[in-house]
Structure formats: structure tokens, C-alpha cells
Structure 1
Amino acid sequence: MKKLYSLLVGSLLISSHLVSAQTLAEKTKGMQKSPGFFPFYWDEKTGRVLLEIDKLDQEILYVSTLPNGVGSNDLGLDRGQIGQTRIVKFVKSGPKVLLLQPNYDFRAVSPNAEERQSVENSFAQSVLWGFKAEAQEGGRVLIDLTPFLLRDSHQLADKLEDLKQGTYKAEESRSAVFLPNTKSFPQNTEFEAVVTLTGKGKGREINSVTPDPSAVTVHLHHSFIQLPDDKYKPRAFDPRAGYFANEYMDYAAPIDQPIQKRQIVRHRLQKKDPTAAVSEPVEPIVYYLDRGTPEPVRSALLEGAAWWNQAFEAAGYRNAFQVKMLPEGVDPMDIRYNLIQWIHRSSRGWSYGSSIVDPRTGEILKGQVSLGSLRERQDYLIAEGLLQPYEDGKPASPEMLRVSMARLRQLAAHEVGHTLGLYHNYAASTRDRSSVMDYPVPRLTLRPDGTVDLSEAYTTEIGTWDKRAILYGYQDFGPQADEAAALKNIITQTLQDGYVFIADADARAQGGAHPLAHLWDNGTSAADELHHVMDVRRAVLDRFSEKAIAPGQPMATLEEVLVPMYLLQRYQVEATSKVLGGLYYTYAVKGDGQTVTRLVEPAEQWKAFDALLRTISPRELALSEELLTKIPPRPVNYPRTRETFSARTGLTFDPTGAAESAAATTLEFLLNPQRAARLEEYHARHQEQPGLAAVLDRLVKQTWQAKPEAGYPGELQRLVNTLTLNRLLTLAATPQAPAGVKAVTAMKVDELKTWLQKEAKSGKDQSRKATMFAALRTIQQFEETPEKFQPAPALPMPDGAPIGSEDACAGF
């Protein structure tokens, strides 16, 4: 028995040795070979991909992307989405091959190999996958790549679970290599797989976009890419220049130099003749448009994206930036093609500009723009509301399409700008639309007859700020130039010309303080622009009718067009609220001469307060009786959606509910805890600054203590009064507010209580008295347990655009 066992073991060892001794040619006999950067073999019989590794220990770039998405803006898993860009290398140890990701966040940029090694040994690396060597021949190893390709490389299951859509996992039996998009080129090898996630679909969003939510099938793409050569020269990051940064820690930096290194993110671009004022590039930056883009969108996107050539011309290049149609048959995920893609979702959503970047240097290797197709329909709908174009017996105006395409040109330029390395600049609109990297609201002009002129709704070219930014990022100074001095001169001139750069964090915060940094605004004064928007809004609402919808549409769909008209002020309200308790500041660098900080003038703050109070006045909140008679309950198959108003009246349209959502939003911005804290601080430092007590006094005087209205305006006035009290009590109770804010607010609530007690006894209007008694009960509930107090929530506004985003502040 023992002898038989020895023979079996010996036989197995011999068999194992014979397998491992197979040549690559023997192992891949009968398979389809694809030569290229990494040669690979397709085994039709087993559905396997065998990868030939002839670059052991050589660093390459690995990127995973999502060529076929899920189709829901709320889930954020769009077609073409780029995953993390990683530097990796295949390393072999015995029969194992590991895909190792070195840690480039921590480096020693030093000629000393031991110094570099000490940093490498100090921080963790990541092995992304392990393979078994199927065959080996000289310096070449063959591995089975299939399990790596069929995994959930985009972490879709984790994202769906985080979004409460269900619990999923990749199922191999329903996944396979997608051969049409699996190919190899001299500098990159591309793989794609059909991957199915199985599980229980519990969320509304996943159920709405999949035929069977228990099986979510997408495509996942994998790119192995040759790293660029060492001829690219990184450019220094400057917080005033408007660029994204590539960051890492350099432990070889001298002690008197920052250890945190920052380089701007940009494409490689060089002049053929750096000494010439204007030169052709060595190689132009070329963007390609998705062939699935229809007309007239196709022409609009080609034109808008090409605006950037104006900026490169201003920087001394000729034909350096080009936009073309994607050649037929090209895989959009191919790393060699900068791409503008037209994507589809079940609801409106953000458009994106993303890039694949070399983590070592910040060089952009591929720019990828994703434009949501439903945005153009929202722009068209907004134009319908502004123009009221559908008159019986007359053809519809072509103006809606013209405005929609103008917006798409600007959007194409905006998103391409991100892929060139540029941040948003939310202060640009204060300099006559000086950057396409701001979010544009249409410029609206009222004609004498009360109609709206949209002829200058959107810009038609690149902005002057954009030209300054491209000059900083892409100017070729030549090998003999002092680049640091030249870059400093560019920034100095930009500042002298009066340009200000303010990015996302400063503009998006609900309690934001910068009086110029806003999304979706125009003009130099937020308060003046809010008054202008309210004038336009009132003129539109006063003449709003069935002319806003096309013939044959249900009358109830007037509400869809009414929503963006009634809420035309929503983004300018946010902008104006930042003036109150506002602080002007810049991304100043020591010695650059910029204003570092400056409190907003008190007069400007009170002007902003008055403009905000206008938005909650009964006249501004009211809709005409004539219009209200034209909006019936929803017909069958036309249900209420997130794009329509919430209602407290059941099936019928609720104009008071619409007013509630609009007024509550103004009050939420006005009484933001951070804003209240700044009002207290700035008033303590400078008595002329508006203090929180003064602001609350004026608010109560112009709401609760204002002259009572009768009828429908009176109902709206009482609604606003109740909302005002609820926001005051919320401010007094919130843990986010400092003690001083809570104390002042509680004192003003107590003063209001005393006034209400007196007025409730003497008043004759039963509805007004009822509101006052209800207010007193609410105050009593607050006084009993202020730390637990939570007033009834107001009806929310319909989703803005991008629809469904928590920080959505967009609509146009």
C-alpha cells in the first residue's frame, strides 16, 4: 500500500511538472492570438482570456471603466464612468503572479536609491489580484485573466448597497468576456466583460431602470496602458490659477521646502517653435464626439467644444485644440481618444468632465466628457415657460430650440474645460460672463410689453478668464526661459486685470459667505439681480397660460412648465443670502497684493435682506385666479413626479403648497446657523455690521407684524408667518448654532410670544387669530423641551437640476 501511495505521489509530481513545463505555444495551441502591448489569447472553447506577460516588474497604467451603465442619475453609475487610475506592475514569485499597486502618494524624489527604498518600505502597497502561472518561457509568463475581468471591478455592489438599492454580488455564470471590445494596440491593451450582479433589488431607482432588478447586467472595461515617457514637464500648482492639483508627499524635499508637492493637471502640449509668438503644436489636443449624438445636438457640441481653440490661440498656438467625430469602429473606451459622449438616463442629471491622469506627474492621458441627454429637454421646457410660444393657428417659435442649442454649446465647452484641468470658477459671472467654467443662468431681458427677450441668454465664445487660465497651464516658455518667473508674471497680470477665482467649496455651501461666488447667477450685485429675476418672474407669471404647452398636451401638464417659472428665483435667493453676514475674500498668496478678507458693507447686506424678503411677500407668492382655473388634477398615466409641486390638497393642484416650498427655502437660507453665527461675530467686532438681533427684528416686523392681508394673500401671509416662526425655533434649537445665536434667537422668540399674546386677544380675523394661537402652542412646545423640538417640515421644492442631487443647486 505504501509503495502504491509513493507511485501515485510521484506520478502526480511528474504530471504537475509536465504542465508547468509547457511552452506558451503549447498552452495556447488552437487559440486566437491578439498581438500588441500585452499579447493575449482567446480560448473559444472555454471562454477564457490568457494574458502573456512579457513586462514583469515594469510599471504600467491600469484603468477600469463602465462602458455600459445603469441609467439612473440618482445611482450615479453612468455609461463611460472612469474608475480609479492606478500605476501597477506584474511581479512573479514562484508559480504566482501578483498585480501590485505601488504607493505613489508617498515618495522620495531623489537620485539616492536607498532613500527612495526607505519611503517605499514605510507605506503599504496593494496587491489587486493574484494569478497562477499557466506557462512560462524565458521572461514571459502566461496567466488566466478571466476571473480578474469578470469581477465587480467598479464596486457596483457596494455602491448599490450604500444607496439602499439591495444586496448584490457578481455572478460568474451570468458573466462573460465581451470580445468585440477586447483588443490590443501597440501602447494599450483593452478588455471588456459583461458582468451580472445578482441579488434582491429593493430600491426604487434600481427597480425603475432594470428589466429584472434581481439581475443587473453592465459592461466593465479594463485598460492596461504604457506609461508616458519622461519628456513631460510638470507645472507648479498655484491656488489662484484655477487648476486641479496632482498631489503627493516628497520625503526628499529639503527641510525649508514644503513636503506636500502639488502639480497642475493638464494635457501635454508643446510648440514646434517655442521662440515663435504663434506656432503649430508638436501634437495637437484632439477631442472626439460620440457617433451616437444626433443632430442638431451634434453640431452644437462640436462647435461649443471647439471654443477652446480661442484660448489656445491667445496662448500662442495655431490649431492646437481640435474637435472631430469619433472614427467609425473606434472603441470609445480606447485610451488614445479624448471623448465627448452623449449619455442617457431615466432622469435629468449632472454632466461631467473627467480625466485619466498619470499619478506620477499630473499629465492628462485621456479626457472624457459625459453629457446627459435630458438636459436639453429641460432647457427647452424653460424656454417654453419664458416665451409662451404656442398660439392657436400660428407655428411654434424656433427660439426654444435656438436657446437649447446655445446652452449645449456652453455646456460642451464647460465640461471639456474640466478635462483640460480646470476647476469651476463661480466668481466669473461678476465679470460679464468671463468664464465658461461658471454655471450659467440665462440672461433675461424684459421688453416694454412684458415679454422676455432671450437673444443673449447664453454666451457664444470662450471667456477672458478662460484665456488667462489656459495661458498659465499651457504656455510653452521654451527651454531657456525662467518658467517660475513667467508663471508669476501671468498670475500677476491676471490679478491686475481684476479677475477672481473662487471654486466649489466656497460656492456650494448652504451657509456660504462669499458675496460673489454663486452658481446660476448673473451680475455684480446679487441683490440687484434678485430684484431683476423677480421682475421677470412676475411678468411671466402674470401672463402665464395654456400658451406654455403644445397643442394636444393635457392641461394638467401646465404644472411642469410652471415649476421652473414659479421658482425662477431659487438660485438667486441662495446667491443673495450669502451677502448677509458675508465675507469677501480671495485665495491670496503672501505678497501678491490681493485683498485677503473684507466684510461686506452694511448697506449691501440690508439691500440683500430686503431683496430676500420680497421673495416671501404674498404678492410674489400668489398665482392668478385665471391660471388656477386652468390646472386640473392629473389625468390617468400623468402622475405627479419629482418635477411637480408637492400638495396638501389631495389630487388637486395646491398653490399654497407651491408657495410654502418657495418661502421655506428663502427662510432656510436666511436663517442658516453659520450665517447667524457670522452676523453675531461681525457685529461684535464692528458695531455698524448688522447683528443677528437686528436681522430678526426686521424679519418679524415684515412678517408677523406687517399689515394683515385679506383673502388669498392673507392665507399666504399667515403661511409665511408660520414658516418664519418654525425657522426661528429651529435656529434656537439646533446643535450647530453657537450659544450666542441660540440666546439671541430665543430672546426674540419670547418677544414675539408677548406680542402674539396681546394681538390674539384683540384681533377679530378668525383665521389670523387661529394662526396666532397655533403659534403660541408651538412656542410652548419649544419651551418645554427645546433640545428635542422639531417643527413640522415644510413641503420641499421640486428637485432642481441635476435632479435628485443632495447638493443640487442647478436648474438651467
Structure 2
Amino acid sequence: MKSPVLRSLWLLLLLPLLTASVAVAQKLPSIASKTAGMKKYPGYFNFYYDDETGKIWLEIDKLNQQFLYVNSLPAGLGSNDIGLDRGQLGGERVVYFNRQGPKIMLVQPNMAYRATSENQNERRAVEESFAQSILWGFKAEAADGNRILVDATDFLLRDAHDVTGSIKRSRQGSYKLDASRSALYLPRTKNFPENTEFEATLTFTGGEDAGRYVREVAPDVQALTLRQHHSFIQLPDNNYTPRAMDPRAGYFGISYLDYATPVGEDIEKRFIARHRLQKKNPAAKVSEAVKPIVYYVDNGAPEPIRSALLDGARWWNQAFEAAGYKDAFRVEVLPDTADPMDVRYNIIQWVHRSTRGWSYGASVVDPRTGEIIKGHVSLGSLRVRQDYMIAEGLLAPYEEGKPVNKAMMDMALARIRQLSAHELGHTLGIMHNYAANNNASVMDYPHPQAKIDRAGNIDLSSAYGTGIGAWDKVAVAYGYQDFPKGTNEEKALNEILAKSRVDGLLFISDRDARAPGGAHPVAHLWDNGANATDELLQVLRVREKALQNFSEKNIKQGAPMSTLEDVLVPIYNYHRYQTEAVVKLIGGVNYTYAARGDKQLVTEVVDKREQQKALDAVLKTISPEVLTLPERIISQIPPRAPGLRNSRELFEKRTGLTFDPLAAAEASADFTLSFLLHPERASRLVELGARSNSLSLQDVLKQTIESTWKSRRKEGLEEVVQLQTEQVILTHLLALAHNENASYQARAVANNALKDLKSFIESKQKSHKENAYQAHLAFALNRLNRPVSEDIKPSKVLDLPPGSPIGSGEIIGCE
């Protein structure tokens, strides 16, 4: 214990510090005096702009009240590969301001772990068990009671969207934010009663190591200037009722762990993402909505694109009408006075990039409940041109003295209608459905359906479906039906899904359809037809007809002849996705997202006869007849004309500047074989062959080798294509035999096939004297005798030009 003298001395020393602290607190000026002369923006959070300093002063009057913070990118980079697109939304975060002495903290609570309990101590125990995030610290500069003024400028001028990280992760350069070339962007800094909007112009410097994608779009790679947007949004009221997620219904959603859950129940809670929609009279068969869902199409989209976007988006009203709503879903053109980043507007935005890229549907979702606050569609403008070019390749339309065939624009606009509906569906909360071809859902990826008419001409009149699909009506009924009071909602929702199964509708989404070793026989991207194998044969007939007609008439008068290659690429590879669909039948297993007691199919191995039919069709795609381009096409394509870029949209080449038909054939054969001999499929063929009436891996390898290595020898260019394809097969067999991701027995079977092939080659060496074939055999034998590292692919094979939109296709809300 201190003596009285020491205690008095200690108090004397401390008193000036306490007095100074009180004085500092008392010296905070009033908000009015601090903001005198500044322009005030009244709204959800009042703020002030100081024109002299270029600063934003934020008035915080809602301490410890949660709101939603969203950052976005209203002006992008223009490279789909990097992904910083105009209108791109960042993650939404529930946040609140908390005062700690002179500091005001912007706190993000941890919404992934909760206790939905009335017991405050129980909730506190969960909150203290998991980390929170303080996103920013502000200093109180003025105050009037509980209203505090802070300088928000640095918060708004930071790289909240992580532009530097996106560029670095894409290996396109090292950049840093340059504050001297960044400022607030007042035309898009606004205030509204329920949301406060800030925007900043940010410049990123560096660029010494700028990559190709940056160089394609930036006027100066040393200075990239974009705009970032910040939204403070009032959270919805508590009158929204979350709807439970069912994996059979096909919805995105939210999930969290609820530690107040009784031990015998599932601790993870899952709810779908959907807009709030209520009937004025839930008991009526048809009722108007309390508040309709309204979407707005970008007024920067040109005609006739804009009308196509409106038409396709409006298809969804058919689904809401089927669910008993009247005029509950509308689509209009965005007024000139509206801001597309304003949270009050659901937007269909027209986005320009340097390459054709994915379109996507994103949403601002309340993380507490799953309620969609804003739907935001981004549609890439170059997609329509790709479809137009595919039509050029199919129709060879440019005959001198004849008008341009209207079918090309009709097909391109039909695609835009479908794409508009598809991406808007994501913003309604609905996932992809890749088991819904034949127009059962706009949430599938559609390939153009070309047919050969009775006159032998290619017909594009029904290239894409029109209107909403049967599955889409089921999805909307599940997500948006407003049941009469007293209804057992769980039972009613189950009845909706049960009826869809009776109607023969199936839902299979991304993971099951995108895997290259996938097993589901009807879940594919970009496929058509009730029977995948029959449709592949039909697609090959269309492809053959298009190649027969291919000539200078596929490009406009006066166009460089080298641009024939641009049009040829999608026609030569026209069968690629249907081939992928058919391969999944081989070693295929049919299944559903069955729940106990719903009487759905759980699993069923694809019938062996169907597998054999599929294998026959797949092997046809690597035949010399399909892979070899005719001389009349090859001779028409010169090296690239000056001023025309060599892009990844063209075939890779091994011949320098000249067109390389062998490279095209190599890449196409490799594409088929990469699916057919995928280690997952090989392993599954071993397993299914042992336990069911299925093709075995031995069957597949034997027939593949017999149809190629042991088939009748061709002549001319077909012979070279044949020999090349056989080397590609050898590449995949070597890779499979040494791939540790394959099962032991799959590797053993592949190794045995290589042993048999080696014996065959050695026997042929003795009986054949033709130089080209002898060289081929000797080279293959050399490869077989060469030690192969288990972690290195035995040979570099050329890739196909991109078929899907360029960039990452793993985004589950995109197309």
C-alpha cells in the first residue's frame, strides 16, 4: 500500500493528464461548425462534401445498429480473364458502427455462427467463441450528442474491391493504389432514404510486369484507372419469412451453424435466396402482389439487343402467373435518372469486354435471412456476335447479289433472349439445371439446334427455345408461392417437388455436370436431344453439311481470306459438347438428389447397350473421316493478314504462320480422349465392370485401339491424321497408366493395354515396309520404351480454341 505522501504525489502527476483528456473530449466541435460551408447530402447516413479538401465527412447517428455494406465496381477493366467487369458486385456484409473512446469502429459480426435464442448469455457465448472483423477505424472529429462526425475519405479511397489482388492472382502484374491519382467521384455519390452511395475514382500504378490481358485493355499499363462503389443499405424489416432449403428444389441460399439447436436436430440451418413477394390475397387462386418484383434493362444496350433483353427477361412472368400471381413480375427500361448501382433497382446490365466472356447473375442478399435485396445481371456484349458468327459458319450466307440471310440475326437475338432469362433466373435465386435440355428450363446451357431440312439445307429456325420451361415454373412455385394461412408449408413444398417428379422433370446442377470425369448420363452443358447419342450423330451430320458448303461465301465480300479461319473454328468443333455429353454415358451412373421416403431413383448404372452405342458414336469423332479437313478448305486459308490479331479463338499451330489442319485434328482428338480416358471414368469402368452388367475398362481400351491402331490404313492427309490420332491415344494410355489419381486396377489395365499394343507394333514392324507407317511405329515403340515420370504428362498435346465464353466457367451463377 502506498504511503499518503506517495499517493498525493501520484495524484498530482495524474491530474494534468486527466484534465487534458477531459479537455480534449470537451473540445470536439459541433457538427454544424465543423461542416460549415460544406455541401450536405441528407439521407440514410447524412454526409458532407468539402470541395476545398476533396473530403467526405460522414455523420454517424446509428451506433450499434446493423446495416448492410456492399462494395462494387461500376467502371471495370474490360478483361473477362481478370474478371474486373463493369457492374461487378463484391460481397455483402452485415456491419455496425461501434464507439470505443475517440474511435468509431466499423464492425462485421460473424454471421456464420449464431445462437437464435432469447437467452442473451447463450448468444454472447457464441459471439465470443468466434472472431469478428473490424473493417475500419475512424476518429471522432465532431459530435452533437449521439451524432458523431468522422472523416470517411480514406475508407472510401481504399481498394475495397481488391483490384490489385485480382490482377496479381491472374498473374497479370503487380500494382498498387496511387492516392495522388485517386479522388471521390461525385456524379455517383448520392444519398437516399434507405441507402447511402459513395463512389471513388482509383488509379493503380506499376505495370512493369503487366501481363497480356492487361495490355489488351489498358491505354497505359502503368496507370489503370477504375471506379469503386460503396453502399450503406438499411436492412429489411423483420416481416420476411425465410424458406427452408431443399437440395431437390435448385436454389442458392445461405447457411449458418445455430448453436441454440437441440442436440437431436441438424445444427446447420439452410434457407433459400429469394425476393420478398407476397400475394394481396394468399387464399385466392390468382392474386396481385403486395409489391411486384421489377427489373430494369440497361438503357445503354442498343437496339435490337435491348428489345431482346426485355423479351427474354419477361418470360419469367409466365412462371409467376403459373404460381398464381397477377402482374407480380415486370421488366422495364432503366430511366435516365436512375443509377444502376442504386440498391433499389434490380438491373440487367450490358457489359463490354475485350473478349467474349461469361455473363452472370448476382444478387445482394441479406446474410441474416436469405432475402434478395437487389438482383444484378451482367451480360457480355460480345456473346451475340459469337452466335452470329456460328450462323455464318453454318449457312455460308454471303452470295454476291443476294441479301444477307435474316436467319443469322434471328438466331443471335434468340440466344440473347434466352441468356437474359437465364441470368435473371440466377438473381431470383435459382441454380443451373443441366438435366433440363429440350427446353425444360432456361437454367440449362443451350447449344444451337440446327437441323437439315427436306431440301438438304441447314435450318436454324428453332435454334433456341422460347419462353420459360416447365422446371422453371416448378422452381418459382417452390421459392415464391405464398400459401394461405394455416397451410402446412413443408408438406405443400414437398407436394410441388413430388408433382414435378411425376411430370418427369429432373434437377441436376453444377458439380455433377461440370466434372470432366462426370457420370450422370443426362447432366451436361451445351447439349441437346432426348437421347445424347442420337443427337451426336445428328450434330455430326450438320457439321458435315456445313463443311461441305464451307467456302469464301462464309465471309463478307472484301473481308481478308484469312478470316475464314475465325468462322471455321466453331464449325469444325461444332460437335465438341455433344461428344462430351455422350462420353458420360460410358461408365455412367444415373442418380437423383433423392431424400429418404420420396421414392425417387437413388442410383442406377447405365444399361450396357446404351454405353456401347455411346462408345461407337464417340469413336466416330476421332476417325480420320471426321477429323480431316478437305483440301478445298485448307487451300482457301492463308496466313493471318497484317493488322489482324492472332488470338486464342483460332486453332493452335505447329507450322508457324500457315494454317495447320493437323493441329486442328490433334486438338479435337485429344478433346474426345481426355474425357473418354479420364482417370475417374477409367476407375469407375473398373468398378462397374466388376459389379454390374456394364462396359469394363478392358472393353473401352480394346475397342479404342481396334478402331484406330488396328483399323484399315488411310491415304494422303487422312493417313497422317490417322497416325497422329494413334499417337494421341498412346499419350493418354501412358498418362493413365502412370496417374496416381486412377485406381490401381485402372492403371494395371492401362498398363496391360500398352503391353499388348507394344506387341502389336513390333509385329507390324516386321510386315510393313512403307516409310511413313514404319516411322510412326518406330516412334511409338520409342515412346513405349522410354521411362515416364509419374507426375509428368508423357507429351504436350494442343488445346482446342475456347468453346465456352472465355474466362473462368466455375462461377455457379453464370453462363
When the two structures are superposed, what TM-score results if normalisation uses the length of structure 1?
0.96
2:253 corresponds, among 227, 245, 255, to 245
2:636 corresponds, among 626, 630, 635, to 630
Q: Residue 706 of structure 1: SS of its match in structure 2?
A: coil
CA displacement 1:777-810 (0-9 Å, x = unmatched): 00001xx345265322111111222124476999
Aligned counterparts, 1:604-619, within 5 A: 604-619=610-625
Report the Cα offset of residue 114 of structure 1.
Answer: 1.4
Corresponding residue for residue 347 of structure 2: 339
Corresponding residue for residue 800 of structure 2: 797
CA displacement 1:425-457 (0-9 Å, x = unmatched): 00001xx31000000111111123432111111
Q: Residue 275 of structure 2: SS of its match in structure 1?
A: coil
Corresponding residue for residue 476 of structure 1: 482
Q: Flag the 1:809–1:115 CA change in 2: closer, same or farther, 3 A.
A: closer
Q: 1:188 & 1:639 partners in 2: Cα distance?
A: 46
Q: Flag the 1:806–1:404 CA change in 2: closer, same or farther, 3 A.
A: closer
**Native 8 Å contact 2:431 2:813 kept in 1:** no
Q: 2:239 & 2:791 partners in 1: Cα distance?
A: 63
Corresponding residue for residue 304 of structure 1: 312
**Native 8 Å contact 2:115 2:126 kept in 1:** yes
**Native 8 Å contact 2:426 2:813 kept in 1:** no
Corresponding residue for residue 775 of structure 1: 780
Aligned counterparts, 1:164-313, within 5 A: 164-200=171-207, 201-313=209-321
**Native 8 Å contact 2:589 2:604 kept in 1:** yes
**1:134 equivalenced with 2:137 (yes/no):** no
**Native 8 Å contact 2:423 2:813 kept in 1:** no
The amino acid that maps onto 2:514 is: R
2:454 corresponds, among 436, 445, 448, to 448
Q: Flag the 1:789–1:240 CA change in 2: closer, same or farther, 3 A.
A: closer
Q: Residue 325 of structure 2: SS of its match in structure 1?
A: coil
Q: 2:316 & 2:20 partners in 1: Cα distance?
A: 65
**Native 8 Å contact 1:390 1:548 kept in 2:** yes
When the two structures are superposed, what TM-score results if normalisation uses the length of structure 2?
0.96
**1:124 equivalenced with 2:127 (yes/no):** no
Q: 1:15 & 1:110 partners in 2: Cα distance?
A: 40
Corresponding residue for residue 701 of structure 2: 696
Q: Flag the 1:492–1:20 CA change in 2: closer, same or farther, 3 A.
A: farther
Corresponding residue for residue 98 of structure 2: 91
Q: Flag the 1:811–1:119 CA change in 2: closer, same or farther, 3 A.
A: closer
Report the Cα offset of residue 761 of structure 1.
Answer: 1.5
Q: 1:811 & 1:770 partners in 2: Cα distance?
A: 48
Q: 1:607 & 1:748 partners in 2: Cα distance?
A: 22
CA displacement 1:639-664 (0-9 Å, x = unmatched): 32111111112211111111111111
Q: 2:486 & 2:626 partners in 1: Cα distance?
A: 64
Q: Residue 327 of structure 2: SS of its match in structure 1?
A: coil
Report the Cα offset of residue 329 of structure 1.
Answer: 2.0
**Native 8 Å contact 1:36 1:187 kept in 2:** yes
Aligned counterparts, 1:327-406, within 5 A: 327-406=335-414
**1:759 equivalenced with 2:764 (yes/no):** yes
1:419 corresponds, among 419, 423, 427, to 427
Q: Flag the 1:645–1:134 CA change in 2: closer, same or farther, 3 A.
A: same
1:664 corresponds, among 664, 670, 684, to 670
Corresponding residue for residue 144 of structure 1: 151
**Native 8 Å contact 1:571 1:809 kept in 2:** no
Q: Flag the 1:786–1:195 CA change in 2: closer, same or farther, 3 A.
A: closer
Corresponding residue for residue 3 of structure 1: none
Q: 2:336 & 2:329 partners in 1: Cα distance?
A: 21
Report the Cα offset of residue 93 of structure 1.
Answer: 0.9
2:24 corresponds, among 17, 21, 26, to 17
Q: Residue 213 of structure 1: SS of its match in structure 2?
A: coil
Q: Flag the 1:658–1:23 CA change in 2: closer, same or farther, 3 A.
A: same
The amino acid that maps onto 1:98 is: M
Q: 1:810 & 1:553 partners in 2: Cα distance?
A: 37
**1:642 equivalenced with 2:648 (yes/no):** yes
Q: Flag the 1:804–1:335 CA change in 2: closer, same or farther, 3 A.
A: closer
Report the Cα offset of residue 398 of structure 1.
Answer: 1.3
Report the Cα offset of residue 626 of structure 1.
Answer: 1.6
The amino acid that maps onto 1:292 is: G
The amino acid that maps onto 2:113 is: F
Q: 2:219 & 2:337 partners in 1: Cα distance?
A: 28
Report the Cα offset of residue 583 of structure 1.
Answer: 0.6
Q: 2:51 & 2:485 partners in 1: Cα distance?
A: 53
Q: Residue 369 of structure 2: SS of its match in structure 1?
A: coil
CA displacement 1:679-734 (0-9 Å, x = unmatched): 00011112x31111121111111110001111111111111111111111111111
Corresponding residue for residue 754 of structure 2: 749
Q: Flag the 1:807–1:282 CA change in 2: closer, same or farther, 3 A.
A: closer
Q: Residue 675 of structure 2: SS of its match in structure 1?
A: helix
Q: 2:128 & 2:814 partners in 1: Cα distance?
A: 50
**Native 8 Å contact 2:358 2:814 kept in 1:** no
Q: 2:613 & 2:73 partners in 1: Cα distance?
A: 49
1:546 corresponds, among 552, 555, 564, to 552
The amino acid that maps onto 1:229 is: D
CA displacement 1:614-653 (0-9 Å, x = unmatched): 0011111122222222111111112321111111122111
**1:739 equivalenced with 2:744 (yes/no):** yes
2:515 corresponds, among 497, 509, 516, to 509
The amino acid that maps onto 2:327 is: N
Q: Flag the 1:811–1:496 CA change in 2: closer, same or farther, 3 A.
A: closer
**Native 8 Å contact 1:244 1:265 kept in 2:** yes
Q: Residue 434 of structure 1: SS of its match in structure 2?
A: coil
Corresponding residue for residue 563 of structure 2: 557
**Native 8 Å contact 1:280 1:318 kept in 2:** yes
What are the ranges of 5 or more consecutive residues in structure 1 without an aligned counterpart? 1-5
**Native 8 Å contact 1:367 1:420 kept in 2:** yes
Q: 1:190 & 1:234 partners in 2: Cα distance?
A: 28
The amino acid that maps onto 1:538 is: E
2:111 corresponds, among 72, 85, 104, to 104
RMSD between superposed Cα atoms in Å: 1.8
Report the Cα offset of residue 10 of structure 1.
Answer: 9.3
Q: Flag the 1:87–1:10 CA change in 2: closer, same or farther, 3 A.
A: closer
Q: 2:793 & 2:201 partners in 1: Cα distance?
A: 49
**Native 8 Å contact 2:107 2:134 kept in 1:** yes
Q: Flag the 1:115–1:621 CA change in 2: closer, same or farther, 3 A.
A: same
Report the Cα offset of residue 70 of structure 1.
Answer: 0.6
The amino acid that maps onto 1:501 is: F
Corresponding residue for residue 728 of structure 2: 723
**Native 8 Å contact 1:286 1:323 kept in 2:** yes
**Native 8 Å contact 2:423 2:814 kept in 1:** no
The amino acid that maps onto 2:135 is: L
- Alignment length (residue pairs): 800
The amino acid that maps onto 2:337 is: G
| Range with bigger deviation, 198-207 or 673-682 | 198-207
Q: 1:760 & 1:492 partners in 2: Cα distance?
A: 63
Aligned counterparts, 1:670-709, within 5 A: 670-686=676-692, 688-709=693-714
**Native 8 Å contact 1:340 1:370 kept in 2:** yes
**Native 8 Å contact 2:283 2:485 kept in 1:** no
**Native 8 Å contact 1:801 1:809 kept in 2:** no
